[in-house]
Amino acid sequence: MSEITAYVDAAAIRSNIEYLQKVSQTNLMAVVKANAYGHGLAGVVSICTKAGIDWFGVATIDEAQKVKATAPEARVLAWLYQLDEEMIQCAIDSGIHLAIFNEQQVEFLSYLQTEQQITVHLHIDTGMSRGGLSPSEAVQTAQTISQNPKFNLEGVFTHLVSSEASNDEVVMGQLATFREIQTQIKKLGIEVPNFHLANSGGALNYDVSDFSFVRAGIALYGIDPSDKPNSNLKPAMKVSAPIIQLKQVDKGIGVGYNHTSKTEQDTTLALVPVGYADAIPRTASGKLTVWVNGEKRRTFGTISMDQFIIEAAAQDEIGDEVIIFGDPSLGHPTVCDLASAAGTISYEVLVRIGSRVQRKYLNL
């Protein structure tokens, strides 16, 4: 059994779903790519399904297949894939929805020998300059797809650039562009059941009630996309590990690789079996604080692959829980605190939680 545990609170996820639906005034697609942002894909899909969610978004076809394995009736959109006939046929057979983000995909799928309709969502690039058709191509491509009986045009969507801030000029422009495309498509009599564009920031900061659903990623797991506190969202994960050694050391003793820290006085050091292979970026060395026995503790030295050192207190014992991040309402450091110490964002910390970290689900 792993020494490191990520506790995932199903009640927090359910609360976040309820809040995101309330604030956006529309339905919700649960984004569960990258192992559900580190929370465990199968576990989160099960929680969401029981909460009434039947739309899921992922990056890859492989991830979509994993969603289907847990929730066979779910509607799953995969938005990144290569033109591999076998892989795409497998997706079609499983009823997976595919994004169309360039004209080559339309041509490839048109000539694919399949008896089933291919359910697609047209991806429009309104400002990200990543995947997606240009706005000038959007309406014509939608018409081409709608006239081909091989396709079922289920949705049209885009992705927002900087929605973590409200009233952002670029985002406001994207909203206007996408709504104009939506109007043009409808004027042509093209029936598209779902138009969607809002990520977590869009759901929290913009009026997107006229769209079919929001695609909630980071906020589903209780983190505001700005990495700033948001009392309306409940962080769903706590990561902790036990103290496995206590050691008395003298003043002036170097700690860890390259002795980047030295004790300032006679000190008790505690060894915690978590490292950069698990959940803590090495760049957080010397800046990370953790929670032990109701107190914040500083770390010593460089974070190693499998372990780090903290300054222990008199009451600490072997086996005591060391919380790397958790619930701020209980005083715990947050994943955003860890991300800040590491010079990154909460998204990256969460998705890099390693395979040695066991997930335990609470309040199912």
**Positive or negative torsion for Cα 75, 203, 60, 107:** positive
Gap between the Cα atoms of 3 and 349, Å rounded: 19
Q: Does domain 10-219 have CATH number 3.20.20.10?
A: yes
Start and end residues for every CATH 3.20.20.10 domain found in the chain: 10-219
Condensed to tens digits (0 to 9), the pLDDT of residues 332-351 reads: 999 999 999 999 999 999 99
Judged against a pLDDT cut of 80, whether residue 275 lies above it is answered with yes
The pLDDT of 96-116, averaged and rounded, is: 93
Residue 262 known to be catalytic: no
Residues of the chain with CATH 2.40.37.10: 237-362
Least confident of 5-9, 136-140, 254-258: 254-258
Q: Choose the catalytic residue: 19, 33, 66, 81.
A: 33
Counting Cβ atoms within 10 Å, is residue 209 exposed (0-12), middle (13-18) or buried (19+)?
Answer: exposed
User: Residue 3: its pLDDT value, please?
Assistant: 85
> With a threshold of 0.75, does the pTM exceed it?
yes
Is residue 1 predicted with pLDDT exceeding 70?
no
From 50, 247, 251, 257, the catalytic residue:
257
Q: Which fold has domain 237-362?
A: Lyase, Ornithine Decarboxylase; Chain A, domain 1 (2.40.37)
- Provide, rounded to the nearest whole percent, the portion of the chain with pLDDT above 70: 99
- Whether the pLDDT of residue 115 is over 90: the answer is no
Active site residue 7: no
What's the pLDDT at 2? 65
23 vs 279 pLDDT, higher one: 23
What would the pLDDT profile of 148-185 be if each residue is shown by its tens digit?
999 999 999 999 999 999 999 999 999 999 999 999 99
Which pLDDT tens digit goes with each residue over 211-267?
A: 999 999 999 999 999 999 999 999 999 999 999 999 999 999 889 999 998 989 999
pLDDT digits (tens, 9 = 90+) for 318-327: 999 999 999 9
